[in-house]
Structure formats: structure tokens, C-alpha cells
Amino acid sequence: MFLPDLVSVIVGLSLLFFGLSAAFMGYSMKQSFDDTTANITIIIGIISAILGFIFIFFIDSLSFLKAIQFYIVGLIMIVFGVTGLISKKNRVSTFTSILVLIMGIIAIALAIFTNNQPIYIAVIIGLVLIIEGISMSLD
């Protein structure tokens, strides 16, 4: 249904935007919050952006690699969600962190269905970006 290279580019772009969002959020947290949580969020953002560039330019998306992309994205979202829960910035941030954590678990669970519909990973990352955007606008 989708070309493997197209899927790799879509997932890469999604990870890149997620990484940039996380890095900017960590930078803004540094000015008003503790440095440890902000640094972890910045590191998650940088790692996500690097993986996004790797998926866009260097990795040919083979069938087994698409499942690995789900696991990587799911793991990043889980770590991002746990970091948000630990920071306990406010009620909206806690709710957003719970949603991101759930999306990460769903991403790992969807790794099984990757061969049929590999576009799910981009949809999940898009939902997480929308949730983060709403959370940032409510703060």
C-alpha cells in the first residue's frame, strides 16, 4: 500500500518534528523549572531529531525495520511521558504526559501490525504533537 521509502521519510519527519518540539519544550522548562527534567527533555528531543534524520536520509525501510521504528518511537514516547509525570509541572502537563505515555504503549503494541498499515506510526506521532501543542497553549 505504501512504499517503504515513503514510510521511512514520513516516520523520520514525524520524529524530527517531535524532537524539535521536545527540545524547545525542554529549553522553555529550563527557565521556569528544575534543570534535571529540562535536560532530560532536551536530550530526548535531540535523540528524536537525530533518529528522524537517520530515518529520512540513511535507513532503507525494510519490513523488519518498520517494526523497529515503532519500538523506537514508542520507547521515546514512554520516556517522554514518564519524564513529564516526574516533573509534575501542573495538572495539564500531567494529563498530557499520561496521554503521551499511553500513545507510546500503543505504538509498541502496533508494531505487530506494521506490515499491513505502516502509516500508523506517523498518525500516533501527529496525535502526540497535537496533544503537546494544546498543552503548551493552555499553559
**CA 39 – CA 37 distance, rounded (Å):** 5
User: One-letter amino acid identity for 79?
Assistant: V
* Model pLDDT for residues 2-22, shown as the tens digit of each residue: 566 777 787 788 888 888 888
The SS3 call for residue 88 is coil
* Model pLDDT for residues 30-66, shown as the tens digit of each residue: 777 667 778 888 888 898 888 888 878 876 655 556 6
**CA 27 – CA 72 distance, rounded (Å):** 23
Exposure of 25 in the CB half-sphere (CA atoms within 13 A)? 29
pLDDT score for 70: 73
In the chain, how many domains are there?
1
pTM of the full predicted structure?
0.60
pLDDT score for 41: 81
Which residues constitute the domain of residue 21? 4-138
